[in-house]
Amino acid sequence: MFELEAYLLRPAGSHMSTVEHLKKLKVELVIPSFNRIDLLVETLSKVRTLYPDIRICLGLQGTVPEDFLKQTGQDPRLRIIMLSSPGTTPTLNRCIFSSQADIVLILDDDAVPHFGWLESHLDAFSQDPELTYTTGREVRIAKGTTSFSDWIRIMVECLFGLFLARDKKLNGRIVAWTNKIGLIFGNVDQPGFCVINSARGCNMAVRRSSFTELGGFNDRFRGNAYLFESEFGIRMAKKGKFGQYRGDAIVIHHEVSSGGSRAGKSQWFKDYLFNHRFMIDQLGPQAWLGSLPRLIKKLFFS
């Protein structure tokens, strides 16, 4: 479906240039942000260094300083949508639904793209007109895993990987996939390309026509909006549409531990639990089986 073999055989640096892509597809980058203006300014600067001509939409929630609005008002390729009430998915929906672009990229305000990031995402859509969304590689700065937890993950993946086709795995790992019992496999740090039914909102792109047809993200997610990308991918999969993981569309994700949609631990967990229901609504009650270990870990070990 995604001509993965052709991608894998392509030599490094064989992407279409940014100029070629921008001529072929209308593109816009959406960055949602909630009360983290200093961080957003830094991210914007780095994006503009790499891609001075890309159109950008900022989905701003909370208080926005006047000097920031004046400064960004001088950029003819930047627009701002402001929402008085914070909400990740309503903000993203407003930005994407109002866009005139064919392809809309999504970036966290603390995620910095690497060289070739934009080209890789757009290459996928250019090659496959039926492709609905992509997610890229995430290099996480703030968080790591222990050898024991990695061993547990690999054992679980070996078991459930027996029931997945080869085009849905990379290097033996299950990437960006949610199964029927609610287990979510990330592994968005792998090189290569594969079929996915989930995404990472810090580094993804959507074909706007397909996004609109589906109704966008579920805007009932609240607080941390955990799992909104997985729920979106499951709804897409029900229509027979899948995404593609792009291992060379790299972002450095700093995962800044303050500000944004973060709340106190108690409220954060309540939102975390509340948001699970939307994924489980899509998968069925058996999805609690895969969700319980995740909930227990967050409640007692985070």
Q: Is the pLDDT of residue 275 over 70?
A: yes
Q: In whole angstroms, what is the distance from residue 189 CA to residue 186 CA?
A: 8
Q: What pLDDT does residue 4 have?
A: 34
Quick one: tokens of 35?
């009360």
Quick one: tokens of 76?
């003819």
Q: In whole angstroms, what is the distance from residue 170 CA to residue 175 CA?
A: 7
CATH number for the 4-301 domain, one of 3.90.550.10, 3.90.1150.10, 3.20.80.10, 3.40.50.720?
3.90.550.10
Instruction: Give the strand pairing for 193-196 and 169-170.
Output: unpaired
Annotated domain spans of the chain: 4-301
**pLDDT (tens digit per residue) in 135-146:** 999 998 866 666
DSSP 253: E
From residue 68, give the alpha-carbon distance in Å to each of 4, 53, 62, 86, 104: 43, 20, 13, 19, 24
**pLDDT (tens digit per residue) in 91-138:** 999 999 999 999 999 999 999 999 999 999 999 999 999 999 999 999
Q: What pLDDT does residue 12 have?
A: 42
Determine contact, residues 239/197, Cβ cutoff 8 Å.
Answer: no
Quick one: tokens of 214?
């589906």
**pLDDT (tens digit per residue) in 63-94:** 899 999 998 988 999 999 999 888 999 999 99
Confidence of residue 1 (pLDDT cuts 50, 70, 90): very low
Name the 3-class secondary structure at 237.
helix
From residue 11, give the alpha-carbon distance in Å to each of 20, 248, 251: 18, 12, 21
